[in-house]
Homo-oligomer: A and B are copies of this chain.
């Protein structure tokens, strides 16, 4: 067991703007105007999809050589379906979060398709963000009033 604790801090700014900080690496999350924000960054569900796409990229790059896989170029597109009627309170039966997430992995490679398909199967099983989405972690919440 080598349990490591990862951490991010989200500081709320004006309106829906949020500054996220992980070990000094900062980026802005906001909502687009049609969802009530000022559109100064990706929104939280887009950031979640970005995390998944980036995680698959990194697993692919980290394990390609060991698996004898050639990667000349790599891009991962991630699309998620979400019924915004849930969040907007228009439909109490709607699921609040994503119902479906589809990942398209674009690889430029000389490696045969069959070997690439097998490798991507390994990647999908190994990707930490993918696993977190597929096998729910325990979630805790604490309120601290200042």
A interface residues with partner B (beta carbon < 8 Å)? 1-12, 15-16, 18, 20-23, 25, 27-29, 31-32, 36-37, 40-62, 71, 73-88, 90-91, 94-109, 113, 116-117, 120, 124-146
Give every chain B residue within 8 A of A21 (Cβ-Cβ): 50
Are the C-beta atoms of B96 and A126 separated by less than 8 Å? yes
Are the C-beta atoms of A80 and B135 separated by less than 8 Å? no
Secondary structure of the A contact surface, majority rule: mixed
Contact partner of A62 (CB less than 8 A), chosen from B36, B61, B129, is B36
CB-CB under 8 A for A136 and B135, given A3-B82, A44-B55, A57-B12: yes
Are the C-beta atoms of B96 and A10 separated by less than 8 Å? no
